[in-house]
Structure 1
């Protein structure tokens, strides 16, 4: 048996899997986010621990004697966070999360002052990354930085409490803007630029390496063996890729949740920083991944439901599907929160053109669904013309609608695979890493999750949308010019 722990922003999800990668039991607990100021996003690290402990209590109650067969635990978690601890390993302030935007100025300053670090860090400095937030703390909370001795990332705070060890993995460290991605080691130049010289950073291990064993008090509480290994683990994106077996250049991942990501593995470190693509260390040794980070996903559909007074998004999409007969008459931009890849434009906003007296709510819905598909196509195109995966996994809330999935597959012209239970992909990926850390290999013939449906692209529809994608890109350029 193996346990995977996924510490997300809104919840922790924990799975117990057997040697056939079958989920035996699962548990989760939800978290609240504190927003003390506009653009700020924080959580109390002790809330994470409480959630993990309660979830493992539930898992042990559900699983009984099977907990005695657990050989390893893997960790996955939200990336880019700042967890600062004092010399007694107590947090000195609430953790600053990935979606906190207070460090805009610091990110701009780092890019201007240290352009050479953009290549080694795999991406331009952005407000959500750990490094710019540390520089913000140096400027605005110098007392906090004087009190702080240790830096950890969110999932690694859980490791500390479970094992007593401070450690991280290269895929989570990759999202900090403090790591040299090619060498997979900390960058002293970046650490100095971000004002973090006084902090003790954790050792960064490859994701499948052991970083210690579960403390005795916990093994007794949950009925675990005495020598349960804890793997280094991975950031949530890399771990989700493992969970759906998207670990090479032929099998990518599209995550369509509140925000969205397009991810593709690569065996070489070749950053594509000009298009705001993130190139980070993957959870497998000698592997990296390109990621298009899109700020607007299903949150756009939530907004459309408010604008058109349709409370049921499922029915809203069904109405658009019933009227669908090809590319819609309206054209929209989904950039309600600005956009990262490929524009790195925090000022751009959404738009819709072509409205007439006969336009309906279904027309507006279709226009914004199309715009999400177009932005995913832009994200994939940002990787370069030589990118041609054979298929991609589709996960997240946006995967619930077959209509949306078929439309995306046709517009990007790539088959999409929907897996049953894909919401557990990061936790399952963490369990895979736990297995590898114990010295066991994964069965290459064993599917990570059962396939629920495959959405093949419609060739005629793909050709019909080709000019529409070009118009979408032209609309962005025109709106950007107006904003300037």
Structure 2
């Protein structure tokens, strides 16, 4: 039996899964990660934490499932995107890595927009806080000694690859989101790199997502019980790997992910640069396709935030209680989920969350309902921005941890007035996509014929629409009323 291992280095956890040739999950393991916020607008993790958590899940699988691990034919990588790991000549991280939700580089974004004519036409998106390029420019200005010591700049999953293989390699899909690439050509851009104060010599070798991007070190093969010379697939960023996991492999296919952040991804066989509304266009993990993206910076993390404040023990039970309560629409508060700024459609790292329309009857369930509706409204903003950008949206899958709640999914379906498909493997997310890319790197197929079969359809609820439209109109006023 051929087996494939997917390793996803997320923001809050590292997850590993083993699947067979029919996409049946055989085993999994998870290890947590935490985020540091040493200053306002900063969000960092140390690359060593990525490797420690990755090694922990592989050690767990080796201990619990040695026979499965010995049968793994290839390993695929996925990871949170846009992190900047500065690596020295000894292969060691120089400092903690600024993450995708780090917003310190606002001034650098404005500078890059002026420096490079038609920046978006080259990179696929305008410079925005959180993306790699402006953060590298910030580091070159504020920590020049760190840049002087740097011999390679790696993304999250690619630092883990360096630990696994000893090789500095990335894939074109994940790398296209750095804003350092000529995205249509699929090559590093000397012009964009120079604008950020570096040369392309600091950037890794590029491969396709489904190609081999290194082999496992012998000592790690022995430690984890994996075969020697195990091929490591190029892999992809979590947005693209999530698309592979959701079966989004043809133009027009789309998915919405309710993870730490919210992602709305549409596959397109044309390169359509995103020139506004916090949108971005990157290469897909499927050669010949691009992904048009909208991003909500706080999705499931907004629910986790309010659950923590309210002392909720089980989020799953909390969502079930919200659904069962059938709250009067007039008593539901209105929430804008800008807990860490917002990307789509505002591109505003300083935007703040708002909770309004509170009444005396409001309790924990009312506030929780307002929060998940606010995330649904933010996803709808992405939907509208994609349509305005000319995206042709076919079937839409719903994935990520938030997809456990069909109620939340139906709220989103109703707000965007489109049915959503819930794949049988919706909760496996980018780890499944990484495992599928491992299968492709070992000569197998990328997708499985069952991707679009056996799905649950979440239909819009006509009876909910009037109240949701009324509250969305209030939600839209929130941003307009924020202090400048």
Superposed pair shares fold, TM > 0.5: yes
- The structural deviation recorded for 1:323 is 4.7
Structure 1 pair 89–240 and aligned structure 2 pair: CA distance change class (3 A): same
Partner of 1:185: 187
Q: Give yes or no for the alignment of 1:424 onto 2:401.
A: no
SS at match of 1:264: strand
Q: What pairs up with 1:422-461 in 2 under 5 angstroms? A: 422-442=426-446, 444-447=448-451, 451=455, 453-461=456-464
Provide the aligned length of Structure 1 versus Structure 2: 480
Partner of 1:345: 348
Q: Which sits farther off after the overlay, 181-190 or 204-213?
A: 204-213
**2:348 and 2:181 mapped to 1: Cα distance?**
24
Listed one character per residue, the Cα deviations across residues 250-292 of structure 1 (whole Å, up to 9, x for unaligned) are 4322122332111111111112322111111110101111111
**1:89 and 1:337 mapped to 2: Cα distance?**
32
**2:165 and 2:454 mapped to 1: Cα distance?**
33
Structure 1 pair 315–27 and aligned structure 2 pair: CA distance change class (3 A): closer
Partner of 1:163: 165
Partner of 2:397: 393
Q: Give yes or no for the alignment of 1:413 onto 2:417.
A: yes
Structure 1 pair 320–212 and aligned structure 2 pair: CA distance change class (3 A): closer
Partner of 2:217: 215
**1:208 and 1:362 mapped to 2: Cα distance?**
45
Q: What pairs up with 1:305-324 in 2 under 5 angstroms? A: 305=307, 313-314=315-316, 316-324=318-326
Which of residues 125, 131, 145 is equivalent to 1:143? 145
Q: Which sits farther off after the overlay, 119-128 or 55-64?
A: 55-64
Q: What pairs up with 1:362-377 in 2 under 5 angstroms? A: 362-377=365-380
CA contact under 8 A between 2:400 and 2:429: conserved in structure 1?
Answer: no
Listed one character per residue, the Cα deviations across residues 20-62 of structure 1 (whole Å, up to 9, x for unaligned) are 1212111222223333333333333233223322322222233
Q: Give yes or no for the alignment of 1:71 onto 2:73.
A: yes
CA contact under 8 A between 2:126 and 2:274: conserved in structure 1?
Answer: no
Listed one character per residue, the Cα deviations across residues 335-363 of structure 1 (whole Å, up to 9, x for unaligned) are 33332101112333333444445555544
- The structural deviation recorded for 1:436 is 0.9
Q: Give yes or no for the alignment of 1:42 onto 2:39.
A: no
- The structural deviation recorded for 1:471 is 4.8
Which of residues 329, 333, 338 is equivalent to 1:335? 338
TM-score, with normalisation over the residues of structure 1? 0.90
**1:313 and 1:128 mapped to 2: Cα distance?**
28
Partner of 1:152: 154
**1:361 and 1:58 mapped to 2: Cα distance?**
38
CA contact under 8 A between 1:336 and 1:350: conserved in structure 2?
Answer: yes
Q: Tell me the C-alpha RMSD between the 2 structures.
A: 2.7
Structure 1 pair 37–225 and aligned structure 2 pair: CA distance change class (3 A): same
CA contact under 8 A between 1:168 and 1:203: conserved in structure 2?
Answer: yes
Structure 1 pair 246–338 and aligned structure 2 pair: CA distance change class (3 A): same
Give the unaligned 5+ runs of structure 1: none
CA contact under 8 A between 1:280 and 1:290: conserved in structure 2?
Answer: yes
Structure 1 pair 27–369 and aligned structure 2 pair: CA distance change class (3 A): closer
SS at match of 1:447: helix
Give the unaligned 5+ runs of structure 2: none
Partner of 2:119: 117
- The structural deviation recorded for 1:132 is 1.3
Q: What pairs up with 1:130-279 in 2 under 5 angstroms? A: 130-197=132-199, 199-279=201-281
Structure 1 pair 450–14 and aligned structure 2 pair: CA distance change class (3 A): farther
Q: Which sits farther off after the overlay, 239-248 or 305-314?
A: 305-314
CA contact under 8 A between 2:255 and 2:264: conserved in structure 1?
Answer: yes
Q: Give yes or no for the alignment of 1:28 onto 2:41.
A: no
**2:442 and 2:315 mapped to 1: Cα distance?**
44
**1:77 and 1:215 mapped to 2: Cα distance?**
20
**2:113 and 2:312 mapped to 1: Cα distance?**
43
